[in-house]
């Protein structure tokens, strides 16, 4: 193993080293991605205890199937696909997907005086996103909040790339319409 700290390596380099016989490096991948996987788990499980179990299950599946990671996409995308598929299987009878928008909306404004404004924006945005068709919410989250490319979303959902582009575009239009006249109308992410 190199003298360069594993924390500065790419995910793909870490995977190669794990497959060469350094399994303890997997903890670096867990550390990097557990927050995102926990957020996915919360959307599917809707409680912290089940979401923590979800995270463990996803990383166990990833570790056990690490040889199948071919590096054709980013490790984060491959891991997101495992999480998404596990989430769908976890809630078989209830395929409803809850958006990550509430997790991120309105953050980053300093000072306690803005708490009420942030709460109102978060509420309006969550309500608007909640009113979107599930397929639109899913594509919107994967594109904006997870930073996946259209191709990565296609691999994850099975939707054609043009359909994904259309869903994201249409979702943004619907959100703008739904937020018109609310405090969240000027939310800069739209």
Average of pLDDT values for 98-112? Answer: 50
**pTM value > 0.85:** no
pLDDT of 20 higher than 90: yes
Question: What is the rounded CA–CA span in Å between residue 119 and residue 105?
Answer: 9
What architecture does CATH give domain 99-190? Orthogonal Bundle (1.10)
Of 127 and 109, the structure prediction assigns the larger pLDDT to: 127
Domain residue spans of the chain: 1-96, 99-190
Which CATH topology does 1-96 take? Rna Polymerase Sigma Factor; Chain: A (1.10.1740)
């Amino acid at each position: 193993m190199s003298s360069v700290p594993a924390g500065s390596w790419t995910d793909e380099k870490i995977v190669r080293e794990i497959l060469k016989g350094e399994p303890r490096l997997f903890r670096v991948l867990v550390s990097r991605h557990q927050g995102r996987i926990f957020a996915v788990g919360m959307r599917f499980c809707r409680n912290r205890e089940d979401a923590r179990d979800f995270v463990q299950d996803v990383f166990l599946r990833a570790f056990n199937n690490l040889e199948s990671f071919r590096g054709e996409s980013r490790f984060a995308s491959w891991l997101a696909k495992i999480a998404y598929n596990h989430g769908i299987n976890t809630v078989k009878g209830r395929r409803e997907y809850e958006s990550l928008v509430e997790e991120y909306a309105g953050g980053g404004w300093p000072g306690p005086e803005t708490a009420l404004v942030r709460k109102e924006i978060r509420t309006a945005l969550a309500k608007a996103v909640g009113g979107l068709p599930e397929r639109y919410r899913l594509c919107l989250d994967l594109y904006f909040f997870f930073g996946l490319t259209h191709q990565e979303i296609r691999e994850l959902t099975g939707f054609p790339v043009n359909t994904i582009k259309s869903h994201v575009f249409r979702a943004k239009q619907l959100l703008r319409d739904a937020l018109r006249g609310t405090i969240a109308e000027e939310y800069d992410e739209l």
